[in-house]
Amino acid sequence: MLSFRAPCAEVLDLGDHLELFIDRYLIASKTNIQFTLHEPRDEGNVLSFDSPWEGPFCAYCTVLHDGEGYRVYYRGKSSATPDGVAETTCMAESPDGKVWTKPKLGFFEVNGTTNNNVILTQEPYTHNFSPFIDARPGLPNVERYKAIGGDQKVGLKGFVSSDGLQWKPMQEKPVLTTNEVPYQYMFDSQNVAFWSVNENCYLLYFRVYKDHFRRIARAESKDFLHWDKLQLMEYRGEDGQRAPIEHLYTSQTHPYFRAPHIYVGLAARFMLGRQVLTAEEAGTIGVHPSYFKDISDAVFITSRGGNTYDRIVMSAFIRPGIGAQNWISRTTYPSLNTVQTGPTEISIYANQNYAQPTAHLRRYGLRLDGFMSLRAPYEGGEMVTRPFTFSGNRLLLNFSTSAAGGISTAILDAEGHPIPGYTFEDNIETIGNEIERPVRWKSGPDVGRLAGKAVKLHFKMKDTDLYALRFASEDKTK
């Protein structure tokens, strides 16, 4: 695992995996090109929390794409009782990630009926129960799903399931307690875990409190039962220096499904005491009186491992929507995970209208790999990568240009000298808007003779967004 802070002389190994332009990992230099954070499209309410066992205080959603179907897991809570009281874990399902229904599972009796979508009633673990599909190689099917849940009083407990519906504790005692964490006020929001193919271990990201700020910490485990190497996460800006600390209530850190070596965080930013509504305005929309004196939105953070998040852009990723109902405490909290919902689309989800009768889950659409881009203006700009090796025989770009814009690409050797046949003069300008377009030179798109050698890419761009690149074999481009 490499950090972009490694010496520029170090040669990266890209293999054939996808690289997103969400940090400076691949970039040696750029001129008149800016990182641009792209605002997701609001696709509307997809799931109302209107069942008697759900209600205004539903929260902490996790979206999983499992085979051909999708599931969302979330806390059911109809009243402002203390944390862990009168809470359940619910599940809804969808064939496409866009239209959601609540199955009648019959597992538990809640509010006098088993005709519900409740999958867990083990308080307080239902307060923030967060499942994942375990990608660890060689696991038996009975451990295909795992989850983490709990609070500061009882610690975090691990759960396991073969089908993602019926769950049991992995052991009776917690897997992590407050005695093992050198911080305050931990575990009370969504704690998220996954198997990292990048670091060959389980990772757990959880909420702590330090120096009057809500912070994120992480821990590592080989077996999901014993956790160590606890670290407080730090934040780094584009210049490599420490980024400002803000209240982040949940991190929603997860491996991006198309590039699992990159961890994406859709974090809930909490603006403590920043009040927008008057008591009269809050009463008009029916928000609980304890939940209109703060506001929140969502920010975008990433990591390639270790205790550092890259926060290249400080601006909001998802802004609160139009209307008073969006300007209250703990709304616009993103769900865990990003899923593909179309050939060129990914979706993320967020809780809206928290503590209100209209509480619901909302879908947001985004271009595939389109969280951020390197953007060149009409006047043009340039970017040169760090030296790297690759496998395959095609260079594929995810990009968008205007009719007047384009991308010219040259391949350089490790010392920065143009390689004959792959110079700017040999290149055929890349123009259009595609998820994967092979770069072509006069001799064609084949770069196979350079595979395994240390090279650099030099891009000249005009009125263009460059989202991602990867090298691939010819059969992968068909």
- Domains of the chain (ranges; CATH) run 12-36+372-476 (2.60.120.260), 41-367 (2.115.10.20)
Q: 70-90 burial string, b = 16+ CB within 10 Å, else e? A: bbbbbbbbbeeeebbebbbbb
Position 287 pLDDT exceeds 80: yes
Average the pLDDT over each of 54-63, 75-84, 135-144 and give the range with the smallest value: 75-84
Model confidence at 86, pLDDT cuts 50, 70, 90, reads: confident
Position 6 pLDDT exceeds 60: no
Position 61 pLDDT exceeds 60: yes
Of the candidates 416, 399, 400, 421, the residue with the CA atom closest to the CA atom of residue 457 = 416
- Residue 407 · residue 460 · CB < 8 Å: yes
Question: In this prediction, what percent of the chain has a pLDDT beyond 70?
Answer: 97
Q: Which amino acid is at 119?
A: I
Provide mean pLDDT across the span 259-280: 97
Cα–Cα separations (whole angstroms), residue 219 to 40, 183, 433: 30, 13, 40
Q: How far, in Å, CA of 473 to CA of 273, rounded?
A: 54
Helix (H) or strand (E) holding 201: strand 201-210
Residue 385: the pLDDT is 98
Residue 475: the pLDDT is 67
Position 2 pLDDT exceeds 60: no
Provide mean pLDDT across the span 122-142: 95
Largest CA distance in the chain: 76
Model confidence at 82, pLDDT cuts 50, 70, 90, reads: confident
Position 323 pLDDT exceeds 80: yes
Residue 257: the pLDDT is 97
Q: Which residues pair with 398 in a beta bridge?
A: 468
Higher pLDDT, 400 or 4: 400
Model confidence at 84, pLDDT cuts 50, 70, 90, reads: low
pLDDT digits (tens, 9 = 90+) for 213-263: 999 999 999 999 999 999 999 999 999 999 999 999 999 999 999 999 999
- Residue 70 token pair: 């999708």
Q: What phi and psi values does residue 168 have, to the nearest 5 degrees?
A: -140, 150
Model confidence at 3, pLDDT cuts 50, 70, 90, reads: very low
Q: How far, in Å, CA of 269 to CA of 3, rounded?
A: 26
- Residue 281 token pair: 């305005």
- DSSP code of residue 421: T
Residue 366: the pLDDT is 98
Q: How far, in Å, CA of 227 to CA of 176, rounded?
A: 7
Residue 9: the pLDDT is 59
pLDDT digits (tens, 9 = 90+) for 144-182: 999 999 999 999 999 999 999 999 999 999 999 999 999
Residue 1: the pLDDT is 30
Q: How far, in Å, CA of 341 to CA of 365, rounded?
A: 9
Please classify residue 43 by burial: count the beta carbons closer than 10 Å to its beta carbon, then call 0-12 exposed, 13-18 middle and 19+ buried.
middle
- DSSP code of residue 425: T
Position 190 pLDDT exceeds 50: yes
Question: In this prediction, what percent of the chain has a pLDDT beyond 90?
Answer: 93
pLDDT mean across residues, the chain: 95
Model confidence at 67, pLDDT cuts 50, 70, 90, reads: confident
Residue 292: the pLDDT is 96
Q: How far, in Å, CA of 472 to CA of 395, rounded?
A: 7
Indicate the SS3 state at residue 163: coil
Provide mean pLDDT across the span 432-453: 98
Indicate the SS3 state at residue 285: helix
